[in-house]
Structure 1
Amino acid sequence: MKIGLYFGTFNPIHVGHLTIANHMAEYSDLDQIWFVVTPQSPFKVKSSMLDNHQRLEMVYRATKDYLKLKPSDIEFGLPQPNYTINTLTYLQEKHPNYEFALIMGEDNLKSFHKWKNYELILEGYNIYVYPRLSEGTIETQFDKHPKIHHIDAPIMELSSTFIRKSIKKGKNVRPMLPEHVWEYVDEMNFYK
């Protein structure tokens, strides 16, 4: 089974995240997409960041009706600060029969050469890239790399930051959030 790992704080998860993940599950050779909820760094406590389990709950609620999309709290138990290579290594040891791949936006690929042990990641894992509107260029070493697959997914220019700021201003963001997530955010008075 091929698992695509979609990392993020998902603060909150929104329809853009869901659209990209579903597109990867339906239009690539990945069998499942795991939303890996990044824990809040104990060194960088941000007031706008919901706690780990509240964000995991939102991902659970957003994905529960999709067979190929799963929430993952795998990083909650790993030492902080955590690096992607450590999570990949841990998952590979825990699930030796699965093939893991990384999902990232084109904006992240542009800075991928700055990631810790990016060469090891590229050596052992495929990377599925979705388009993003962003500045800068992709390093030539990643251009046409056999492990980097560009997936023609819809460009989603919706951000969690925009949603949080809009909620704070009293705007209706309901269409931007999966229904179950909207209900939870509203019920809990998050981001107000």
Structure 2
Amino acid sequence: MTTRPPWQVAGVATAAFVVLLWGIEVLDVAASHRLDGWGIRPRDGEGLLGILAAPLLHGGWEHLAANTVPALVLGFLTLATGVARGLAATAVIWLLGGLAVWLVAGSGSVHIGASGLIFGWITYLAVQGFVDRKPAEILIGLVVLVVYGSVLWGVLPGTPGVSWQGHLFGAIAGVLAAVVVSERGLAGRYPHRRDR
């Protein structure tokens, strides 16, 4: 049995995730956008479930289209540098970023969209090479910053209807993920572990 190369697994997984996002938006439109209410509702007990659902939900086709290409590119790069590590980093960004939004964002708001993940992937990719001291990953991070770095201004409040909190806490969670799931840290905790 042959093992697929990491970049191939990363490509399939990332494409499947984006197809899932579009499929969920089809269902949401058919349901008159009622699914959007399942997003993160700060400090609401049921809104905690929104931490899991929010990155899968979008406020219409334009919102989803804006997130599609960055999700494909950055999701792929996150997984291509180590599938297991990339999935772990994505889980950290998804859960910690969402929890911070739930704790801090304004009451009565609902936060949806994959942009928190996207901001997290940007900072994760920018930092992981320096944490792991791997020149190839540093180069990837620098390219990501050149291409996507300007969107990091989205962590500041300003645009009505845009969850700057999701962007900010996603970006912070991305930096934390780079440290928590670093190859050096994982190798120390699991000396016989091999990332695939």
Question: Normalising to structure 2: TM-score of the pair?
Answer: 0.29
More helix by share: 2
Structure with more of its chain in strand, by fraction: 1
Relative to the length of structure 1, the TM-score reads 0.29
